[in-house]
Structure formats: C-alpha cells, structure tokens
Amino acid sequence: MKFFNVKTVTETLAVIAEEFRPVRLPVEVPLAEALGMVLAEDVISGEQVPHFARSTVDGYAVRAKDTFGASDSLPAFLTITGQIDMGRAADLYLHEGQAQAIPTGGMLPDGADSVVMMEHVEEVGDLLNVYRQVAPGENVVRAGDDVEIGETVMAAGHRLRPQDLGVLAAIGRTSVRVYPRPIVGILSTGDEVVPADKRELAPGEVRDINSVTVGAAARQHGADVIFGGIVKDDCDAFLAKAEELYRQVDFLILSGGSSVGTRDFTVQVMQSLGEPGVLVHGVSIKPGKPTILARAGEKPLLGLPGHPVSALIIFHLFAVPILHRLQGIRPSASDKRLPARISRNIPSAVGRSDYVRVKLEERSDGLWAVPVFGKSGLISTLAKSDGMVEIAANKEGILEGEVVSVYVFP
C-alpha cells in the first residue's frame, strides 16, 4: 500500500487543531448533569458570594476601635447586647461599646466591622472583657470577598469539575450552557472480524476488539457511542454502512481490517463521504503508520489501524485531541504527563515517533517506567501497561535512567 500524504505526529496534531471545532450547538443543562461537560459560555456572576459579611470564627462581633490597646493586663470592657443566630439576619445595630455573640458563619450586624475570638474574651454577666485587640475586617469575610457581581468566574472551554459546579451553585446558577457530548460512530471492517460476543471462533476468525476498546475510550473522553457493527471487505457495502453511520454521528471512526484491500477501501470511503476528504494518509509513527485522517463537511473521520494495540495508541494520540476540539476544550497545564525514569535503553529510528508501552514502578529512588515488550498486536501487553512513552522523531532512542514523560492511560 502506498501512503500519499505521510505526516509527522506534530504535523497531524496541527491539522487537528486547524480543521476541527464543535459541530453541534451548545445546550443548557441542569447543574446535576453538568459534571465533565465543557462550558460553552463565559460565566459572569450576578451575585456577591458571600452575599453578607460573615464571621470566620466563634466569638463576638465588635467595632475594632473599641478593642484598640486591649491586652491581658488591660482588657477592653464592652456590653453584650445580643446573640446572632445562624441563618438569620443580624438586625440589631451594633453601637459603640457594644458586642454581640456570633457563631462561625454567622452574619455580621450593621455597625460591627470585626470579630474577637471566643478564646480572647471573658463574659461577666452582660459585660465582656476583651483581652486582645482586633483590626477592622479581622475574622470576617466581607460580602463579595469570594465572588463579586460582574466577575467572570469561569471561561468557555473549561471542563466542569466538582469544585466548578460548587462555584456555579454558590452564585445561584441552576443550569449552565455546555457543548453536547459528541456522538462517535465506530465501524469495524475486515473479513476475519466477528462480533466480540461470538462464543466459539472458527479457524481464521478474530473477535472485534477495537469496537470494545475504542468505544470505551471514547466514552471515557466525554463521547456517546454508536456502534455500526462489522462490514466485510466489500467496498459498496462498506460505503453504504459508513454513509448511514456518518449521518448519525459527529465523528466517524473506521477501524480497519488488516488486509491491504480493506485499507484501500477505507481511503475510498473517506473520499466519498464529503469534501475536503483525506487530510493525512499515513503518520510517521510506530505503531500506527496506516492511520488516516479526513474531514467530510464539518465532521472528522479517522481510520485506525486494525491491530488492537495500534488502534488504541492512535486513539489516545489523535482521537482524544479531536474529541477535545469537538467539545471546545481549551488545553490546560494539568494535562501534563508524569515524569519517570526509563529502566532500559530503547533504540528508535530518527524521523519516526515511537510509542513504547510502559509499566510504572515506584522504587526507593523514585518512579521508573519499565517498557512492556511484546509482538505487535498483542492486546495483553496493553492491559499490562500503565501508559506510554514517546520517543520523539528527532531522537535515536532513549538511554536507561533518562527522564521521560509518561502519558498515563486513564
């Protein structure tokens, strides 16, 4: 098979960044359904958080200047005029020389500007001895200290985590605008491929592993999945099924049979689905060279190699960034990989990115990445791995003890 538009990994990622964006319009969902979804709006607060001045300690609300100079030997003397209840408005004004008991989280009464901690006072009937001075604002969170009205609390492109939902709830939002989960279609091809739930295999048959692994990985990365089943090595049947699935989904993944014929069909099918067609035909990478990337209209099409190991590695490298683009996700520094030292020399060819599966081992001197070797296509090597390490195209290999970045499989 000839590859007519071979690109490097970096070039392929640049094509993905350039060519793809959210295909579907944002939707409004209730907060309870928004975990893991990606914001399609800049969230601007319409409220102050907290919306009243609160005490951060158990103690007495006071005017700070009434306590100035107070010490163990020379306490300030104040009059206790009330007690603030949790969850209630503090509606008794606090005048000069007065104090009101206040619990942690209680509302500061008008007139007060600070709170003296319980540990620094003594109650004597209605009188309060204050043994420590406080500054204005001490032990108080002011209205709007957490979030101000008009403040942008979160920007579009952010994937919502539990704490983000907490901020949205705090500012009174009950729903939020997000990008819908992209729908991924998966179609397997190959005369040898039979459904994964077939109990007894005939000689020459293999189960459809890629639908299982790629389907699960797509769900892990925020997509819903429609399985198109398996088509045999027949170009017309392949095209008919691919067209049907293409219409239902936002992103079509074709998991190629390993025969030459099927790979050629994949290119033909991709070219037939719509303009501009094939963008990348072959990537200088091992494993995974026969990767094909195309666009038909707005929708990405990805042709994965047939071998389960290659297919899943290519999924992590290219389908995950495509899914990020379809969900409008902005890259963040927390996508970082895990540094570890490699446990042995690994040679590699210059001009090709190699991806080596590794197991992580915690040793007394830190984290080590131990390569998991095995013939191409052995799915068990992937199950034994914690992640993968890239040997960049400009390197001839990596040396034992060298620090590498491990992409940890989620």
Residue numbers 195-224 binding its own copies by CB under 8 A: 196-197, 199, 201-210, 212-217, 219-220
Residue 91, token pair as written in the block: 């509606």
Among 49, 294, 317, 326, the residue binding its own copies under the rule CB under 8 A is 49
Among 59, 190, 228, 287, the residue binding its own copies under the rule CB under 8 A is 190
CB of 297 to its own copies, least distance (A): 28
CB of 73 to its own copies, least distance (A): 28
| 159-167 contacts at long range (C-beta below 8 A, 24 or more positions apart) | 159/36, 159/37, 159/38, 159/39, 159/222, 159/327, 159/329, 160/34, 160/35, 160/36, 160/37, 160/38, 160/39, 161/35, 162/35, 165/31, 165/34, 165/35
CB of 77 to its own copies, least distance (A): 25
CB of 206 to its own copies, least distance (A): 6
- 143 contact partners, CB below 8 Å, separation of at least 6: 48, 50, 51, 52, 53
What whole-number distance in Å separates Cα of residue 243 and Cα of residue 274?
10
> Binding to its own copies (CB under 8 A): which residues in 92-111?
103-107
Q: What would the x/- binding string for its own copies be over residues 365 to 404, using CB under 8 A?
A: --x------xxxxxxx-xx-xxx-----------------
Closest-CA residue to 142 (of 116, 171, 115, 167) = 115
Among 29, 31, 92, 349, the residue binding its own copies under the rule CB under 8 A is 31
Q: What would the x/- binding string for its own copies be over residues 255 to 294, using CB under 8 A?
A: --xxxx----------------------------------
Among 306, 321, 328, 371, the residue binding its own copies under the rule CB under 8 A is 306
Mode of pairing for the β-strands spanning 224-231 and 387-391: unpaired
C-beta of 279 vs 313, nearer to its own copies: 313
Residues 60, 75: contact at Cβ < 8 Å? Answer: no
Among 59, 282, 308, 371, the residue binding its own copies under the rule CB under 8 A is 308
> Binding to its own copies (CB under 8 A): which residues in 227-246?
233
C-beta of 5 vs 152, nearer to its own copies: 152
User: How far is CA 405 from each of CA 300, 303, 357, 359, 394, rounded to the nearest angstrom?
Assistant: 28, 27, 12, 13, 16
Residues 231, 194: contact at Cβ < 8 Å? Answer: no
C-beta of 76 vs 317, nearer to its own copies: 317
User: How far is CA 406 from each of CA 11, 254, 372, 398, rounded to the nearest angstrom?
Assistant: 21, 27, 13, 13
The reply on whether position 330 binds its own copies by CB under 8 A is: no
Among 5, 56, 71, 268, the residue binding its own copies under the rule CB under 8 A is 56
Mode of pairing for the β-strands spanning 397-398 and 175-179: unpaired
Q: How many helices (H) and strands (E) does the chain have?
A: 8, 29
C-beta of 310 vs 353, nearer to its own copies: 310
C-beta of 145 vs 243, nearer to its own copies: 145
Residues 259, 230: contact at Cβ < 8 Å? Answer: no
CB of 173 to its own copies, least distance (A): 9
Strand partners, 346: 398
> Binding to its own copies (CB under 8 A): which residues in 142-181?
145-147, 153-154, 161-167, 169-170, 172, 174
Binding-site size for its own copies (CB under 8 A) equals 97
C-beta of 190 vs 282, nearer to its own copies: 190
Mode of pairing for the β-strands spanning 27-30 and 38-39: unpaired
Residue 382, token pair as written in the block: 């992937």
